[in-house]
Every structure is written in structure tokens, then in C-alpha cells.
A = this chain, B = another copy of it.
Amino acid sequence: MTMATLTVPAQVPSPAEDAEQLRKAFQGLISFCFSLPLRFELMKCYSVTWIHYREELLKTLDKELSSDFERVVLLWTLEPTERDAFLANEATKRLTSNNWVLVEIACTRSSLDLFKAKHAYQARFKRSLEEDVAYHTSGDFRKLLVPLVSTFRYEGDEVNVTLAKSEAKLLHEKISDKAYNDGDLIRILTTRSKAQLNATLNHYHNEFGNAINKDLKTDPKDEYLKLLRVTIKCLTFPEKYFAKLLRLAINKLGTDEWALTRVVVTRAEIDMQRIKEEYQRRNSIPLDRAIAKDTSGDYENMLLALIGHGDN
């Protein structure tokens, strides 16, 4: 989108105006939004003002840490692929680097959505996601992350059983040898379809006695092993992964608002219902109550609205 072609109404604060004014105007807009159904694509399409706000807020967010409320609103207003591009970019930056976010985006989105996010990434940042991830990582992390964000995975549900058995055996050999960065292990995780991988990992579990993630927990503090387990969870059971991430974010001393916001915003209207079920099953407290206990004000209201407060 080029700003040059937009006619901005007089009441919109110019980029030079003060952040406080922007925040106020924003809050008005948000109240207005809450009177609408959650999917407000129509408004997004028609409102030049809205587009202008988004651009302004993106600039603000690039410069300084905003409030949790601003962050959740911004992320919510972005198109899902634009949002993934924004989150992925943050995740490659030194101060906000976060490999889990990269794995999430690479492994829980559809192949086409990942592709679209990479397209949006190039449009906004004038570089490819691949080059930024490759440049900002090294060693085993790079070996795993670059193919994960690069691959265009097949999404059919065909399964080759012979292959599943041979690759389960191969994975087991490599893991027994503690060759966690082995080329074949990474090849299998980063290129096989989710259906095929699922068959392989089920066979692994049946044949060798443990779920693969259990065998990948030899050193619970090893960050690379953690990332491998996150990868496998995101590929095979994303709702469970997200429910756990929410639990960690909420139970953390001081709450991890970035993770909380990210999961709520990116999964709303996707698989939030199933995440809530997983959450309740594992924590014996509904997600909305857990969030309400740990957050407050506009931020709390926004999160609760997004997860569908009282829906289940």
C-alpha cells in the first residue's frame, strides 16, 4: 500500500503529532470496533483512516515498546499474513529474537499461508525471511530454522507406510546416537508432509516405546533440544503446543504478555476453541478465568473478547 495515494481526513493526527493523541483516537476507534462483529474486514477495506492508523502504529511499534493493549490491537488489525511477517521480523531481530515464534509460523500455518507471509515480509522489509533468519542464527539453530521457514510442505494426506517405517528407524538411530543435528533428522522434520510425519512419529512411538519428544528430553535445559520438541509439537499437535505456551505465559512470574498476546491474536478464529479445551483439560481452570486473573483493563477486555469469552 502506498501512502501517497491516500487522502487523509483532517482529524487524523499527522506522523509528527504526539503519540498520546494517537492513543486517544485509537481508543475511540476500538470502542467503535467492539460494537461490531469481530470480523471487521469490511471496515478495514473501506476506512482510509484505519489504514493510516495502522501505518502509524506500525511505525510506533518499530520505534518503541508500546503498551500491551496497543500491541494486541495492532496485531489484531493486521491481516494474518502481514501479522506473521511482522512477528517473524521481530523474531529475527537481536533485541526481540525468538526462535519459537519462527517455528510457530513455519509449522502451524498452512503452506500457502506461510508462503503469503513470506511474500508480505518481502513487501514490507525488502529482504526475504530466509535471508534474515539465516543471517541472524548460527550453528544447529540455523540448520533447523532455515529449512523450516523455507520449505513449501506438501499438504495432502497420502501416507507412504514403508517410508514412515524406514524414517522412524532412521530417526531412532540418530536420536540414540545423540546426533540431534543430523542432516537426515532435520531433512525429515523440515520436508515431509504433516500427514507423513505423523505416521512416522506414530510408528516411532509404537516400535521404540517412547514418544519421540520424550527421547529428545535427555537434557531439559538444552535450548536446541527444546526447539526440536517445539517443532515436533507444532507440526503434530498445535493446539496442545499453544495451550502449553499460554500456561507458561500466564503462570510466569509477571506474565509473559508478548506470548499471551501472540497466541490469542494469531489463533483467534482459527483453533482457539480447541486450545481452550486443551487448556482446561491440562490446567483445570478455563482459559478466560486464568487470563482475567492475570491481566487488567483494556488489555484484559481485548484478550477476553478475542478468545470468545463465555463461548464455551
Contacts and interface: CB of A to CB of B under 8 A. Distances in A.
A117 B181 CA distance: 30
Interface in A136-167: 138, 142-143, 146-147, 150-156, 158
Nearest to A112: B119
A202 interface: no
Contact of A187 (B135, B151, B183, B190): B135
A131 interface: yes
A154 B187 contact: no
A172 interface: no
B193 A134 contact: no
A128 interface: yes
Contacts of A118: 152
A127 interface: yes
A192 interface: yes
Contacts of A90: none
A156 B191 contact: no
B187 A142 contact: yes
Please report whether the interface of chain A is mostly helix, strand, loop or mixed according to DSSP.
Answer: helix
A143 B135 CA distance: 16
Interface residues of A, number: 31
A122 interface: yes
A152 B126 contact: no
B154 A151 contact: no
B126 A154 contact: yes
A224 interface: no
A127 B154 contact: yes
A115 interface: yes
A115 B152 CA distance: 8
A127 B160 CA distance: 11
Nearest to A158: B126
Nearest to A127: B154
Contacts of A129: 152
A191 B115 contact: no
A118 B152 CA distance: 8
A130 interface: yes
Nearest to A150: B150
A119 B153 CA distance: 10
Contacts of A151: 128, 130, 150
A122 B154 contact: yes
Given A115-B152, A147-B147, 6 more contacts: A122-B152, A122-B154, A130-B150, A142-B187, A150-B150, A150-B152
29 contacts: A118-B152, A122-B152, A122-B154, A126-B158, A127-B154, A127-B193, A128-B152, A128-B153, A128-B191, A128-B193, A129-B152, A130-B150, A130-B152, A130-B153, A131-B154, A131-B191, A131-B193, A134-B187, A134-B190, A134-B191, A135-B187, A135-B191, A142-B187, A143-B183, A146-B147, A146-B187, A147-B150, A150-B150, A150-B151
